[in-house]
Amino acid sequence: MTVTVIIAEAVDEALLPFPASPDAHLTDPLTRATLRVQSHMLTATRAFLTARGFQELLPPIIGPVTDPGIRGSKQVDVDFYGHKYKMMTSAILYKQASLLAFDKIFYIAPNVRLEPLETAVTHRHLAEFHQIDVEIRDARREDAMALAEQLVSHVVGEVLATMPAELDLLGRDADALREVLVGAFGRVGHQQATAELIGLGHPQDPAAEIDWQAEEIVSARADRPFFITDYPKGSRGFYDKENAEQPGVLRNFDLIAPEGYGELASGSEREHDYATLVTRMRETGENPAKYGWYLDLARRGIPASSGFGIGLERFTRYVTGRQAAWQASAYPKLPGVVSA
Ligand code: AMP
Ligand code: MG
């Protein structure tokens, strides 16, 4: 109760009144316009991916293990007939496994992460959100980045072309959004991004993930989406492949939205070699014994792959120009706030 009150005050201070009731939120014309745009974004995503040979699968909701690479947030336990299962924080392990059946797959996947309380005011963190989750067999990181870029451009192009009335109602600056369509997205290495952040007075740790304040800083300075690549080992999950030519550097990327909206997606080339996975698990503090089904599969052979996950509520927030990601959810769950 106390926690909820503290957070509710913090949210008020951030000038973002969280709706007092579900009906206030659901009947708000801005919510309805945002959700109409989101629905269209999903239709455009499915059309884009299925036209390119991707198979949509329904994602798992629970499992014996889930993605541990979730900086600072907690997993949710489920009592599965006396076994401790987890709600999916991300379905990455299942995405890799799915490639045994299909060469290209995607999910629209729900994720639950108990994010730290202080993230309730970042405008970007929800405790329950969805990912457009894509995985491509035998693909390199660059293939995944090219696909993410094309997918985001396609979806934004579709909304701009078909939903001007909604964008107008939402007060979205369509010209700013149109910047997405102008050409290839920029790329900057993690090292360079870190140096720039330190130059700007932000104490970014060169060995760590770009923190969420830093993400907002680099995002606010951009007017087009761009990639940050090559995060250091230790900053990400065991499944991000290490660069054989550059030990300590991972073959991964984030896609950052401009205008201060922050991170839209994370992706990587995946580790799939059994022995390396076990070593990487140990290095990241994970107990391999927990990952029974996954490691058994890896021992028998998981395909090489690359992929990414785009946060749907964050992507919707960016496209619709809303203040916060929770406004792009019909039933928002904000960290620490007890609601519908
Ligand atoms: P991650 O694997 O943590 O990079 O998550 C993949 C994507 O999901 C991110 O790039 C975000 O767009 C989105 N995402 C991650 N955590 C959250 C959250 N707590 N609330 C909303 N979206 C999130
Ligand atoms: Mg990420």
Which atom in ligand 1 lies closest to the alpha carbon of residue 265?
Answer: 10
Closest residue by CA, ligand 1 atom 13: 311
Query: Does the beta carbon of 267 sit less than 6 angstroms from any atom of ligand 1?
Result: no
**Residue 203 within a domain:** no
Q: Is 165 exposed, middle or buried (0-12, 13-18, 19+ CB in 10 A)?
A: exposed
Query: Does the beta carbon of 75 sit less than 6 angstroms from any atom of ligand 1?
Result: no
170 pLDDT above the threshold of 80: yes
**Residue 129 within a domain:** yes
CATH number at residue 44: 3.30.930.10
**Residue 190 within a domain:** no
List pLDDT tens digits, range 280-321.
999 999 999 999 999 999 999 999 999 999 999 999 999 999
Specify the number of domains making up the chain: 1
Structural domain harbouring 57: 5-178+274-338
Average pLDDT, integer, range 101-122: 96
Q: What secondary structure does DSSP assign to 253-301, as a single string?
A: EEEEETTTTEEEEEEEEBP--HHHHHHHHHHTT--GGGGHHHHHHHHH-
**Three-state DSSP state, 310:** strand
238 pLDDT above the threshold of 90: yes
Closest residue by CA, ligand 1 atom 4: 266
CA–CA distance, 74 with 68 (Å, rounded to integer): 9
**Residue 21 confidence (pLDDT):** 87
Quote the ligand 2 centre to 254 CA distance (angstroms).
Answer: 6
**Residue 14 confidence (pLDDT):** 52
Provide the residue type at 228 as one letter: I
Quote the ligand 2 centre to 100 CA distance (angstroms).
Answer: 25
List pLDDT tens digits, range 73-99.
999 999 999 999 999 999 999 999 999
Query: Does the beta carbon of 333 sit less than 6 angstroms from any atom of ligand 1?
Result: no
Which CA distances in Å does 293 have to 4, 63, 94? 38, 10, 10
**Residue 1 confidence (pLDDT):** 35
The 3-class secondary structure across 158-212, one letter per residue, is: HHHHHCHHHHHHHCCCHHHHHHHHHCCCEEEEHHHHHHHHHHCCCCCCCCCCCCH
**Residue 234 confidence (pLDDT):** 87
**Residue 160 within a domain:** yes
Quote the ligand 1 centre to 248 CA distance (angstroms).
Answer: 24
Q: Is 156 exposed, middle or buried (0-12, 13-18, 19+ CB in 10 A)?
A: buried
Which atom in ligand 1 lies closest to the alpha carbon of residue 73?
Answer: 19
19 pLDDT above the threshold of 90: no
Q: What value does the CA radius of gyration of the chain take, rounded to a whole number of Å? A: 19
Q: For a ligand 1 pocket test, name from 71, 129, 252 the mutation site with the most ligand atoms within 8 angstroms of its C-beta.
A: 129
Average pLDDT, integer, range 311-339: 96
- 340: how many CB neighbours lie within 10 A of its CB? 12
- 243: how many CB neighbours lie within 10 A of its CB? 15
**Residue 114 confidence (pLDDT):** 97
Q: For a ligand 1 pocket test, name from 124, 134, 216, 238 the mutation site with the most ligand atoms within 8 angstroms of its C-beta.
A: 124
Average pLDDT, integer, range 228-248: 96
Q: Which ligand has an atom closest to residue 332 CA?
A: 1
Which atom in ligand 1 lies closest to the alpha carbon of residue 255?
Answer: 10
Confidence bin at 72 (pLDDT 50/70/90):
confident
**Residue 269 within a domain:** no
**Residue 246 within a domain:** no
Query: Does the beta carbon of 134 sit less than 6 angstroms from any atom of ligand 1?
Result: no
For the ranges 13-22, 142-151, 280-289, the lowest mean pLDDT is seen at: 13-22
Quote the ligand 2 centre to 67 CA distance (angstroms).
Answer: 12
Query: Does the beta carbon of 268 sit less than 6 angstroms from any atom of ligand 1?
Result: no
Which CA distances in Å does 144 have to 22, 185, 267? 38, 13, 8
Quote the ligand 1 centre to 300 CA distance (angstroms).
Answer: 30
**Residue 256 within a domain:** no
Which atom in ligand 1 lies closest to the alpha carbon of residue 113?
Answer: 19
**Residue 10 confidence (pLDDT):** 52
Mean pLDDT of the chain: 94
Question: Cβ(164)–Cβ(77) under 8 Å?
Answer: no
Closest residue by CA, ligand 1 atom 11: 311
**Residue 62 within a domain:** yes
pTM: 0.95
Quote the ligand 1 centre to 89 CA distance (angstroms).
Answer: 9
